[in-house]
Structure 1
Amino acid sequence: MTSVEIDPEFENLLIYLRQSRGFDFTGYKRSTLMRRVHKRMQSLSIDSFGDYLDYLEVDSEEFNYLFNAILINITAFFRDSSAWEYLAEQILPNLIKNKESSDQIRIWSAGCASGEEAYTLAMLMAEMLGTDEFRQRVKIYATDIDEDALNQARQAMYSAKDVQAVPDELRQKYFEILGNYYIFRSDLRRSVIFGRHDLLQDAPISRLDLLVSRNTMMYFNSETQGRILARFHFALNDTGYLFLGKAEMLSMHSRLFTPLDLKNRIFAKALSVNVRERLLGMGNSADDESSSHFSRHLRLRDMGFDTSPIAQVVIDNSGTLILVNEQARTLFALSSKDLARPFQDLELSYRPVELRSLIEQAYAERRPITLTNVERYLSNTESQYLDVRITPLQETDTSFLGVSITFHDVTPYIKLQEALQRSQQDLETTNEELQSTNEELETTNEELQSTNEELETTNEELQSTNEELETMNEELQSTNEELQTINNELSERTAELNRTNIFLISILKSLQTGIVVIDNNFNILIWNYMVEDLWGLRTDEVLTKSIFVLDIGLPIEQLRSLIRDSLSGKKQFQEIILNATNRRGRQIKCYLAITPLLDISIQGAVLMMVDIDKVNSMISTQEIEKRQQQE
């Protein structure tokens, strides 16, 4: 491969980008990188890299245009369809088969750009597991260095042209149409986690079952590719798979991965790689002795951290759990599986104390935060007390690498202090009680003498009370007999009243005349079946209602003065004929007679009403029958 001549001005530009914006492009292929920067410079009519650096210092918005020119985001759904078919038919079934039914499946899409390949993975896994199990078990971490591309990926909104490569069945099942756009299903989108990640500077996501990085490394030089692949090797589980793009090969780094299908660029993690080789690759060092020295120091540091008598965890600045020592694992039931998990997903982040806000406070104030005597409930009866210290881990350039949190168990001291306080209080109480007891003892002796005399008097009173109780018992027996007699009389009167009611109801039913009884407030008390037939309202619909609110064919308002005269006792009998409309809608002449309802006083009024035409018809019919019988 032809080497590219180093341009000092261009290298100064790369250093400036790294220091001012945190983008480290020094590992990219110089030919490709220079070509893209030149293209941006030509659009601004700038000739030299030095002049362009001056332009960046003046115009801060130019950074966005430059990064968009460098970070070309080329991706698509099911790009290189044959490779995806092999992945779906051969790799993913084995991946699922090697996992327990309750185990999580972790996938990383590195260099995800606008998210098409991450959502392609989501569709394939959802098809194999079903949507419910997919939501429970699968986590797809999709990362890129370009924030604009990540924002587009989070929206999951694509044009019809973008989703053209998605099979119709999957498109209908996993996309919702909004206007001219296709939006990936929101319930499955929660399992796809997007975040900014620099493959060279940020720690790799660990415990992966599948790592997809398609045509991302082809922009880096050979040395940088080796460092990235060493990180990928570290990130994968022993049974994990690596899925690369067609433009990428591992010929120079074959010791890290074993090819499963070279045509489709699918590799398995090589298990023969030792720790030294991986550290050398990740540390980018060619010196065996220094790498071994670094490895020994790393193991020594880990052993010292792990054997610390105080529980300690370390979280990086992106909120990921990085280190947990033995004491912390035992204290909070953590395991190696929790490493590289987001700290906010762990119970430790909010119990026994809300740590996330305290971490932010430590970052903001740039100082350690200490909490004392934090109570932690172990069970319904047992508690533990911890001194918690949150210490920000700061580099010399004032940026933060993360935070260290220690948990010092002070339960024995707290319990000892509480026991001491209780003992002092018990001692003071005992002295006071002893003095009080002596005084009470003297008083008690005097009271006992007085009580003895009172007992003798009480005994005499009890004998007298017993005699009174016997007399009261006899009176109660007599009262009980009287109550029994009254109860029998009430039963007889109730039976008589029931017979009277039955008799009255029989009379009302036998009458061929409508009878309505109202109280002094015009509320209906009786509404017999003839009135039901006449006006079409049932008894249960009118009882306790005012007669003047009824909607029937009888002009009730014309009766108001007549009813008032009956209720006031002015008139004992009144009658009137009114034009009305019966329940069948036929015009009739209704005869009404109104009389007061008398008890000791007037309790209401009785309204008798009849259809005159019906009565006349009945009379005529009876006369005809009588004549027929005579003939």
Structure 2
Amino acid sequence: MTELSPESDGEFESVLAYLKESRGFDFTGYKRSSLMRRVRRRMAQTGVASYGEYIDQLQVNAEEFAALFNTILINVTGFFRDSDAWDHLREDVLPAILAERGPEEPIRVWSAGCAGGQEAYSLAMLFADAIGPEAFRQRVKIYATDVDEEALAQARQAAYTPADVEGLSERQLEQYFELQGSRYCFRKDLRRSVIFGRNDLVQDAPISRIDLLVCRNTLMYFNAETQTKILERFHFALTPRGVLFLGKAEMLLSHTRIFEPLDLKRRVFRKALHSPVGYHHFVSPPLPQRRAHDDSGWQELRESAFSASPVPQIVVTEGEVTALINQQAEAAFGLSERDVGRPLRDLDVSYRPVALRVHVEQARLERRSLRIKDVEWRRGGETVWYEVHVNPLLSDDKRMLGVSVVFHDVSWARQLRADLEHANRQLESAYEELQSTNEELETTNEELQSTVEELETTNEELQSTNEELETMNEELQSTNDELQTINDAMRERSLELDEVNEFLESVLTSIPGGLVVIDREMRIKAWNRGAEDLWGVRRDEAEGTHLLNLDIGLPVTDLRPVVREALADLDYRAQIVLDAVNRRGRATKIRLQCGALHAPNGTSQGALLVMEEVPDA
């Protein structure tokens, strides 16, 4: 391929812009040198010379996107890759994580950039070894994400070739895999604890409350600015004592303010508690600057306060991606921590109990708070009424960060208002009763009179309906009699047809010699008993068969012209003597009489053939 000039950098940016616009992949944060090298490699494979031509290729060939993404997103992984680092994770890091948590406390793990799933299943084996398979199923959730849908599809299958599992021991293969055909499949009961999903580290919201975050040899593909952005998201995702495990080609020397090294050689870091990145960095404007000694525990305090808020609350990003869900929202609307990071449009709460997306969009565009009153929600057999507050979240420089949605339960206020209205109506009714007892008695009398009249009217209507039913019953009886008459006629006709058929069968049986009736295509329509005796072919075998295809002792050459002449000429009559072989295999002479079969309308509908043996002289 011809070397591209520096002037083509602008065209390369247009390729990235087209990928983002048409497929939603944002590669602008990747290192330009390696990204451009991989795109050029794919262009060389397709024989395209310029970036403009390659955009045209992408527009006309949708399959080219998959080939390009496979070239860009190089998914190189394996089970327990870099064994020394994984040994350190097994012997030192995991025991420390487990020691800091109770024996039944859940553990959340995130494998970012999981590729074909080997890293996620390596983590599953590590935790199952540490706490046992039963406790693993009860306590551990491993979230494995990637931007490559093809790699995620492979990971979900959890099936690997012998070459893929070469690095695993016999014990690991026996304990955690089942051999199905030629592939090793990860255990289904443990597989349920590994959740795969698409997540773009640059654009999508991070998964929250993570105890161990594994992102190995993924950051090295991004430029420094994008790495900083991703690491700040990782910092937000981790719990206060969460651990970050990177690949050997990645360092955090420029991010020591938010991560502390536990083992720099093996790239194991712990989240720094007193770092400037916190909960507000992603979802709300920053709080006023405070003194250093007041910062301790702020992030954990914010997260705990939000989660324990007594009212359901959901926070979405500027791009309408679900960033936070508190415990009350999870309980009220059937949400869970898995919904964090999903687009708002994919959640049921986006359209019930209220069309939420419209109001979120309005609050975002108009940058003002909205209030939605009298929102009804049925939950567990009871009705709850909410007043929904939709508030835009702005930074100090008025930049839109996201939108907060708060559901205030106003059922008690609505019930109180209803009770007050009911009590007021009762007081008014009592006052009116005291002032107008006579009027009420007259009204009651009128109502009774009206009721009597209504009952009389109803009785008349019932009488009319009864008469209509009687008339309908008579009509049905008449119809039934007619049907009975038709049925009797049909039965008589059927008996007549049976008699005719029996008569015709008697005629065919009584005719001496063999009688054969054929249609205009020379297919046999009737074959009497004489024909059966003469040729040894049963009636059910002969009928429906072409006359000239029937394997009997008649000479076809002599028979064909006679039959065709009878089919063509209504007045044709012929009698010939043919040399034949009878059913016993003896040579004999057959006298054949052939004539046309006349239809009632005067046309020919076939031919009649009468055959009999000529006795020896």
TM class by shorter-chain length? Answer: 0.5 to 0.7
Q: What does 1:502-517 align with in structure 2 at a 5 Å threshold?
A: none
Cross-structure match for 1:396: none
CA contact (8 A) 2:315 2:404 kept: yes
Question: Normalising to structure 1: TM-score of the pair?
Answer: 0.55
Cα distance in 1, alignment partners of residues 230 and 378 from structure 2: 42
- The 1:59–1:375 alpha-carbon spacing in structure 2 relative to 1, beyond 3 Å, is closer
Aligned length: 401
Among 244, 250, 263, which residue is 1:248 paired with?
A: 250
Q: Indicate the SS of the match to 1:39.
A: helix
CA contact (8 A) 1:217 1:225 kept: yes
Letter matched to residue 164 of structure 1:
E
Greater gyration radius:
1
Q: Which runs of 5+ in 1 are unaligned?
A: 284-292, 394-399, 441-631
Q: What does 1:344-423 align with in structure 2 at a 5 Å threshold?
A: 355=349, 358=352, 362=356, 372=374, 374=376, 385-387=385-387, 404=405, 406-423=407-424
384-393 or 68-77: bigger deviation:
384-393
Letter matched to residue 121 of structure 1:
L
Deviations 1:584-611 (A, max 9, x none): xxxxxxxxxxxxxxxxxxxxxxxxxxxx
Letter matched to residue 174 of structure 2:
Q
Cα distance in 1, alignment partners of residues 122 and 243 from structure 2: 17
Deviations 1:56-91 (A, max 9, x none): 223222111111110011111111112111110111
Cross-structure match for 1:79: 81
Deviation at 1:403, TM superposition (A): 8.1
CA contact (8 A) 1:321 1:341 kept: no
Q: What does 1:585-604 align with in structure 2 at a 5 Å threshold?
A: none
Q: Indicate the SS of the match to 1:182.
A: strand
Cα distance in 1, alignment partners of residues 250 and 388 from structure 2: 48
118-127 or 166-175: bigger deviation:
166-175
Cα distance in 1, alignment partners of residues 251 and 184 from structure 2: 34
- The 1:171–1:403 alpha-carbon spacing in structure 2 relative to 1, beyond 3 Å, is farther
Letter matched to residue 190 of structure 2:
L
Deviation at 1:260, TM superposition (A): 2.2
Question: Normalising to structure 2: TM-score of the pair?
Answer: 0.56
Cross-structure match for 1:147: 149
Deviation at 1:386, TM superposition (A): 2.8
Q: Indicate the SS of the match to 2:164.
A: coil
Among 182, 194, 197, which residue is 1:195 paired with?
A: 197
Q: Which runs of 5+ in 2 are unaligned?
A: 291-301, 363-370, 394-400, 442-617
Cα distance in 2, alignment partners of residues 434 and 401 from structure 1: 61
Among 163, 168, 171, which residue is 1:169 paired with?
A: 171
Cα distance in 1, alignment partners of residues 202 and 353 from structure 2: 26
Deviation at 1:149, TM superposition (A): 0.6
Cross-structure match for 1:91: 93
Letter matched to residue 349 of structure 2:
L
Cα distance in 2, alignment partners of residues 202 and 344 from structure 1: 6
CA contact (8 A) 2:58 2:64 kept: yes
Q: Indicate the SS of the match to 2:66.
A: helix
Q: Indicate the SS of the match to 1:355.
A: helix
Deviation at 1:311, TM superposition (A): 5.9
Query: Cα RMSD between the aligned structures?
Result: 4.6
Cross-structure match for 2:131: 129
Cα distance in 2, alignment partners of residues 221 and 207 from structure 1: 26
Cα distance in 1, alignment partners of residues 218 and 88 from structure 2: 20
Deviation at 1:164, TM superposition (A): 1.8
| Alignment of 1:204 onto 2:218 | no
Cross-structure match for 1:456: none
Deviation at 1:150, TM superposition (A): 0.7
Q: Indicate the SS of the match to 1:143.
A: strand
Letter matched to residue 342 of structure 1:
D
Cross-structure match for 2:24: 22
Cα distance in 2, alignment partners of residues 164 and 205 from structure 1: 32
362-371 or 415-424: bigger deviation:
362-371
Deviation at 1:431, TM superposition (A): 6.3
Q: Indicate the SS of the match to 2:416.
A: helix
- The 1:344–1:267 alpha-carbon spacing in structure 2 relative to 1, beyond 3 Å, is closer
Q: Indicate the SS of the match to 1:249.
A: coil
Cross-structure match for 1:63: 65
Deviation at 1:432, TM superposition (A): 5.8
Q: Indicate the SS of the match to 1:36.
A: helix
Letter matched to residue 271 of structure 2:
K
Deviation at 1:365, TM superposition (A): 11
Letter matched to residue 214 of structure 2:
V
Cross-structure match for 1:231: 233
Cα distance in 2, alignment partners of residues 361 and 310 from structure 1: 19
Deviation at 1:257, TM superposition (A): 2.2
Cα distance in 1, alignment partners of residues 175 and 312 from structure 2: 48
Deviation at 1:151, TM superposition (A): 1.0
Cross-structure match for 1:295: 286
Deviations 1:534-561 (A, max 9, x none): xxxxxxxxxxxxxxxxxxxxxxxxxxxx
- The 1:297–1:18 alpha-carbon spacing in structure 2 relative to 1, beyond 3 Å, is farther
Cα distance in 1, alignment partners of residues 322 and 336 from structure 2: 8
Letter matched to residue 412 of structure 2:
T
Cα distance in 2, alignment partners of residues 344 and 437 from structure 1: 70
Letter matched to residue 154 of structure 1:
R
Deviation at 1:171, TM superposition (A): 1.3
Cα distance in 1, alignment partners of residues 355 and 378 from structure 2: 22
CA contact (8 A) 2:112 2:213 kept: yes
Cross-structure match for 2:223: 221
- The 1:377–1:113 alpha-carbon spacing in structure 2 relative to 1, beyond 3 Å, is closer
Q: Indicate the SS of the match to 1:18.
A: helix
